[in-house]
Structure 1
Amino acid sequence: MKVFELSKLEQFTSLSLSKDSDITGVFCCDLLSIAMGKAPAGSAWVTVMANVNTLAVASLTDVACIILAEGVTFDNTLIEKAKEEGIAVLKTDLPIFEAALLINNLL
């Protein structure tokens, strides 16, 4: 599944779309130091951590996209930074588990 396809589902809202990467799996983690070492490249990273360090970890790990769950969002400054860095970011009101399960079932 492509990030763009996921962004078109009613449960998700796109904040930043970059290259249309393939999503190859799902990764859930809110501890950035763990995510930095364990987030698989190509995964949809589902988290509630919405800060500049989230973008840094996404860039280091080459995840396909960040999914901000539970109604969490980036402020405008972070959205612009994500666009500048080419990091795809979507948000959802779904809890982390439900968002991850939905994405996993679509793969």
Structure 2
Amino acid sequence: MTVREFAQKYKLEIVAGNNLELEIEGAYFGDDPHDVMKMAQKGNLWLTTLDDLVALGVALLADISAVILVEGRNYEQAAVKKACAKGVNLLKYNGSKFDLAGQFYQDLK
């Protein structure tokens, strides 16, 4: 499934998306940048409450397919601007990490 297909299926808002045709290889959810760098794999979605340039930097270094900001939060404008320039997909979801991860997991079964 591509990032675009995922966003459409789960009704996510696309905040920045230059690479929506990237394939999703799995998902990681957590808010500690160190853990994401250590545990997330290339092509993963990253479900988080981090909304700033730190999240963007981690996504670039970890080669994340898309960052999904949850709980109805909004990205900082600096992060959105940089994501557009660097080709990082930023999505937004109004529900919880648990809810979205659960839906995705059930669909994978």
TM-score normalised by L of structure 2: 0.90
Q: CA RMSD in A?
A: 1.4
Structure 2 gap ranges (5+): none
**1:10 CA displacement:** 5.5
1:45 match: secondary structure: strand
Amino acid at match of 1:56: G
Amino acid at match of 1:18: N
Structure 1 gap ranges (5+): none
Counterpart in the other structure of 1:69 = 70
Q: For the residues of structure 1 that align with 2:10 and 2:46, how far apart are their CA atoms?
A: 18
Stretch of structure 1 that moved more, 6-15 or 36-45: 6-15
For the pair 1:17 / 2:17, whether they are aligned, the reply is: yes
User: How many equivalent residue pairs?
Assistant: 107
Matches within 5 A, 1:5-44: 5-9=5-9, 11-19=11-19, 20-44=21-45
Contact 1:26 1:104 in 2 (8 A): no
Which structure has more RCO (C-alpha within 8 Å, separation ≥ 6)? 1
Identity %: 26
1:36 match: secondary structure: helix
The 4+ residue runs of structure 1 with deviation greater than 4 A are none
Q: For the residues of structure 2 that align with 1:7 and 1:101, how far apart are their CA atoms?
A: 15
Amino acid at match of 1:66: V
Q: Please list the CA deviations of residues 28-86 of structure 1 after superposition, one character each: whole Å capped at 9, or x if unmatched.
A: 01111111111111111000011101000000000110010111121222111111111
2:9 match: secondary structure: coil
